[in-house]
Amino acid sequence: MTKINGKVEELLAKHPNLSQEEAIKIVTDKNERKKKRRIEKSARSNTKKLKKETTTPNEDEA
């Protein structure tokens, strides 16, 4: 059983009125939102790193 199937089964156990297709859609949508947030967070982090590198002088320059 894959991780996604496990999450679908948990969701179906918690909400028995959902169909399996609806539960799969909910889980995949959630995964996409999480992926998007991770990408945005890493982009912000990379931007901060680049700003810090440009504002602080390197050892060679100092």
Please give the model's pTM, rounded to 2 decimal places: 0.67
Residue spans per domain, the chain = 3-48
12-21 pLDDT per residue, tens: 999 999 999 9
Residue 27's contacts (CB-CB under 8 Å, 6 or more residues apart) are: 4, 7, 8, 11
Rg, Å, the chain Cα set: 21
Running DSSP on this structure, what letter comes out for residue 58?
P
Query: Within a 13 Å sphere around the CA of 28, how many CA atoms are in the beta-carbon half?
Result: 6
More confident site: 61 or 9: 9
14-56 pLDDT per residue, tens: 999 999 999 999 999 999 999 999 999 999 988 888 877 777 6
